[in-house]
């Protein structure tokens, strides 16, 4: 296909390979298949009905022209998003209850019809004009996801909707086609689409998955379904060309579920629709990416945080289960069961989107599988993205856990964090990467790196002559090496040259960072060596999830002791606003322990030890 990259999905999804397939894909039972709905465990059935009762009692959020314009006026995303996502959460809950009880009620039909009446299914930040143009719909992440929601409701509730009016399902299919499928098939000017081999991010697989779900559910003509999958294959190959073959994810653990996991879901949809003839889930990138969540898991819901994601698992654990089954990764399936059995956290929703929720309630294997501890891998190294995680003892969260990254400062959802590290003790993160605040217009604008969460001095990296690292592909780690990644190694270490990450104006000839976890002495050791032309300001800020208690050359953070000989210390407090996306993980504040030598040397070093 002209303008697209060729690749493994293009090779699999050809007109010839799909010619014999009708692609009649129905992943979930219709409302009339009472036997399959009755198999849902009683506890889940009760939960579905409780969620729907709550949804039906809620006010249906109003979406107005002024609410759309609010983002352009203020840069605040959350007010429109709360209404947009609130509508879809209510509808998801009511669709699932309809399936469980076998009837469609007025609250469901009213909300479904209201969704059809929206002028746009996308978000204002993704179509930043005074009001959306209804004649030229924009296919963004959430328009595509809405299309999948409507299409799945069309398929699952079809017979019951037809009894209300045949025009209802006709309208649903027409809206999905006009807003999602026709633009997808006739336009290729969106950056996420992948023409001309443009570098793409998680938008590509996320949107393509939802387009596939929508098309396979509402397109009547088998040839149209085949043509759609061929086009999807070309588009997603652009993402696969960017996807690390060792399983790494530059966008961080939260966005893994919205990137690699979307690729896996898409390949599973393709395999199901073709009765296994295509075997897309066997693609090397898909198989390798199953390593990542296991490697990033610290304990409980805590995960290593890089880029814009969060430091806690906020995904449906069933996603890990179905991914693990698809690629036969038993560790990821064990992690899914570990997370499944944790207490439900206040303020979290189990509904998600309709695709996720239906997968969850119909996965009897996952719901009824025996409990399992987390895998707690001892060492994981991702060479392509230069990320290392290592724990003091494999198979348990007890002891020290160290995560380090190299990389560069033009990664997707980038923070300026080349050479950053984090440390947990007994499963509790204490020296941390904070993640990102609640998104606003600034988050993805020219002033992104004015935000404190994006700056290198908030990523456990030195501030050199008053300057932080710079953003851009050229600001990267060099000469990266790791040792001791064998299971029985006494010491595992990471070493890198970081000088390029600050640029030339700092006067930095070399900044060599060495981090090691020493299992014999039960400590993490950090050594920085530098060579500066003129040192007039040098400090090392460490971001702490508990209040640092300074006592001379020793500081205690929770149960973690930091020995910092020759370095004075001061403590700063960083408030976190109420309701911010950081609050569920870190509470209302973080601390920064700022270490600095009395007299910076042109050539020098410091060494810190972290231990119980």
pLDDT band at 447 (very low <50, low <70, confident <90, very high): very high
Q: What is the mean pLDDT of residues 386-409?
A: 97
Answer yes or no: is 374 within a domain. no
Q: How far apart are CA 189 and CA 24, in angstroms?
A: 30
Q: Which CATH number do you get for residue 184?
A: 1.50.10.100
- The per-residue pLDDT for 535 is 84
Cβ atoms 306, 417 nearer than 8 A = yes
Answer yes or no: is 316 within a domain. yes
Same domain? 363 vs 448: no
Flag whether pLDDT at 611 surpasses 80: yes
Same domain? 393 vs 361: no
Half-sphere CA count of 63, side-chain side, radius 13 A: 25
441: number of Cβ within 10 Å: 16
Q: How far apart are CA 217 and CA 92, in angstroms?
A: 17
Answer yes or no: is 315 within a domain. yes
- The per-residue pLDDT for 508 is 94
Half-sphere CA count of 496, side-chain side, radius 13 A: 25
Answer yes or no: is 2 within a domain. no
Answer yes or no: is 237 within a domain. yes
Same domain? 233 vs 86: yes
Q: What is the mean pLDDT of residues 108-134?
A: 97
- The per-residue pLDDT for 352 is 63
Same domain? 34 vs 137: yes
Flag whether pLDDT at 376 surpasses 90: yes
User: Which residue is it, tokens 């000017």?
Assistant: 189
Same domain? 390 vs 295: no
Same domain? 344 vs 450: no
User: Which residue is it, tokens 């009339």?
Assistant: 32
In sign, the C-alpha dihedral spanning 551, 557, 563, 568 is: negative
Angle between helices 317-327 and 354-361 (to 10 degrees): 70
Q: Tell which of 338, 368, 398 closes a domain.
A: 368
Q: How far apart are CA 111 and CA 91, in angstroms?
A: 6
- The per-residue pLDDT for 159 is 92
Flag whether pLDDT at 262 surpasses 90: yes
pLDDT band at 346 (very low <50, low <70, confident <90, very high): low
What are the angstrom distances between the C-alpha of 544 and each of 258, 458, 557, 572, 612? 28, 10, 7, 10, 15
Q: Which CATH number do you get for residue 560?
A: 2.70.98.70
Same domain? 399 vs 292: no
Tens digit of each residue's pLDDT (9 = 90 or more) over 132-168: 999 999 999 999 999 999 999 999 999 999 999 989 9
Angle between helices 203-218 and 141-156 (to 10 degrees): 30
Answer yes or no: is 402 within a domain. yes
Q: What is the mean pLDDT of residues 173-186?
A: 98
Tens digit of each residue's pLDDT (9 = 90 or more) over 86-99: 999 999 999 999 99
Cβ neighbours of residue 2 closer than 8 Å, sequence gap 6 or more? none
Name the domain count of the chain: 2
CA 157 to chain centre: 30
- The per-residue pLDDT for 360 is 95
The DSSP output letter for 168 is H
Flag whether pLDDT at 197 surpasses 80: no
Answer yes or no: is 162 within a domain. yes
Flag whether pLDDT at 594 surpasses 90: yes
Flag whether pLDDT at 350 surpasses 80: no
Same domain? 178 vs 307: yes
Burial class of 603 by CB neighbour count within 10 A (0 to 12, 13 to 18, 19+)? exposed
Q: How far apart are CA 214 and CA 252, in angstroms?
A: 28
Burial class of 301 by CB neighbour count within 10 A (0 to 12, 13 to 18, 19+)? buried
For 413-445, the three-class secondary structure string (H helix, E strand, C coil) is: CCCCCCCCEEEEECCEEEECCCCCCCCEHHHHC
Cβ neighbours of residue 455 closer than 8 Å, sequence gap 6 or more? 415, 416, 449, 468, 469
Length of the chain: 612
What are the angstrom distances between the C-alpha of 181 and each of 126, 160, 203? 18, 25, 16
Q: Tell which of 307, 335, 368 closes a domain.
A: 368
Token readout for 75 is: 């840069």
Helix (H, G, I), strand (E, B) or coil at 474: strand
Flag whether pLDDT at 241 surpasses 70: yes
Domain that holds residue 175: 8-368
Strand ranges, E, within 339-397: 379-382, 387-391
What are the angstrom distances between the C-alpha of 94 and each of 55, 56, 433? 7, 8, 38
Q: What is the mean pLDDT of residues 390-418?
A: 97
Q: What is the mean pLDDT of residues 44-67?
A: 96
Q: How far apart are CA 565 and CA 307, in angstroms?
A: 31
Q: How far apart are CA 352 and CA 85, in angstroms?
A: 9
Answer yes or no: is 3 within a domain. no
Percent of the chain with pLDDT over 90: 91
Same domain? 405 vs 359: no
Same domain? 363 vs 393: no
Same domain? 490 vs 349: no
What element of type H or E holds 211?
helix 203-218
Total-model pTM? 0.95
Token readout for 255 is: 């966005």
For 268-320, the three-class secondary structure string (H helix, E strand, C coil) is: HHHHHHCCCCCCHHHCHHHHHHCHHHHHHEEECCEECCCCCCCCECCCCHHHH
Same domain? 215 vs 265: yes
Q: What is the mean pLDDT of residues 235-257?
A: 92
Helix (H, G, I), strand (E, B) or coil at 174: helix
């Amino acid at each position: 296909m002209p303008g697209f990259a060729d690749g493994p999905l293009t090779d699999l999804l050809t007109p010839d390979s799909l010619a014999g397939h009708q692609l009649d894909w129905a992943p979930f039972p219709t409302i009339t298949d009472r036997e399959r709905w009755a198999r849902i465990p009683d506890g889940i059935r009760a939960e579905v009905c409780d969620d729907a009762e709550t949804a039906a009692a809620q006010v249906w959020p109003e979406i107005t022209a002024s609410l759309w314009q609010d983002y352009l006026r203020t840069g605040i995303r959350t007010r429109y998003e709360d209404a947009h996502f609130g509508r879809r959460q209510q509808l998801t809950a009511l669709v699932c209850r309809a399936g469980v009880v076998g009837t469609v009620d007025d609250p469901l039909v009213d909300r479904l019809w209201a969704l059809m009446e929206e002028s746009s299914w996308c978000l204002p930040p993704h179509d930043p004009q005074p009001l959306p143009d209804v004649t030229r719909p924009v296919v963004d992440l959430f328009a595509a996801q809405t299309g999948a929601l409507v299409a799945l409701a069309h398929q699952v509730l079809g017979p019951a909707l037809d009894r209300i009016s045949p025009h209802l399902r006709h309208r649903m299919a027409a809206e999905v086609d006009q807003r999602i499928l026709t633009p997808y098939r006739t336009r290729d000017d969106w950056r996420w689409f992948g023409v001309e081999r443009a570098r793409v991010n998680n938008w590509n697989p996320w949107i393509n998955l939802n387009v596939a779900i929508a098309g396979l559910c509402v397109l009547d003509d088998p040839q149209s379904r085949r043509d759609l999958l061929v086009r999807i294959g070309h588009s997603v190959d652009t993402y696969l060309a960017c996807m690390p073959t060792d399983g790494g994810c530059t966008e961080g653990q939260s966005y893994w579920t919205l990137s690699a996991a979307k690729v896996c879901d898409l390949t599973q949809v393709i395999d199901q629709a073709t009765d296994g003839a295509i075997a897309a889930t066997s693609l090397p990138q898909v198989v390798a990416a199953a390593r990542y969540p296991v490697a990033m898991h610290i304990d409980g819901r805590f995960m290593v945080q890089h880029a814009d994601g969060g430091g806690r698992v906020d995904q449906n654990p069933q996603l890990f289960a179905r991914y693990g089954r698809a690629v036969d990764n038993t560790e990821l399936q064990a992690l899914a069961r570990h997370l499944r059995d944790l207490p439900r956290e206040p303020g979290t929703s189990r509904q998600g989107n309709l695709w996720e929720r239906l997968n969850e309630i119909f996965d009897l294997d996952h719901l009824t599988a025996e409990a399992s501890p987390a895998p707690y891998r001892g060492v994981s190294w991702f060479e392509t993205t230069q990320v290392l995680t290592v724990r003091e003892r494999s198979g348990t969260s007890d002891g020290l856990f160290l995560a380090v990254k190299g990389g560069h400062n033009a990664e997707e959802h980038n923070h300026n964090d080349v050479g950053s590290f984090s440390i947990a003790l007994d499963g509790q993160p204490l020296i941390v990467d904070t993640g990102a605040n609640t998104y606003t217009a600034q988050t993805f604008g020219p002033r992104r790196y004015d935000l404190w969460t994006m700056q290198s001095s908030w990523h456990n990296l030195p501030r050199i002559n008053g300057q932080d690292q710079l953003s851009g592909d050229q600001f990267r780690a060099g000469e990266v090496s790791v040792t001791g990644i064998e299971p029985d190694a006494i010491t595992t270490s990471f070493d890198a040259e970081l000088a390029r990450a600050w640029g030339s104006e700092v006067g930095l000839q070399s900044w060599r960072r060495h981090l090691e976890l020493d299992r014999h002495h039960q400590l993490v050791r950090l050594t920085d060596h530098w060579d500066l032309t003129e040192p007039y300001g040098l400090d090392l800020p460490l971001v702490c999830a508990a209040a640092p208690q300074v006592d001379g050359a020793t500081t205690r953070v929770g149960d973690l002791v930091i020995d910092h000989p020759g370095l004075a210390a001061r403590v700063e407090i960083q408030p976190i606003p109420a309701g911010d996306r950081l609050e569920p993980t870190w509470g209302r504040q973080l601390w920064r322990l700022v270490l600095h030598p009395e007299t910076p040397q042109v050539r020098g070093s410091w060494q810190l030890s972290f231990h119980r």
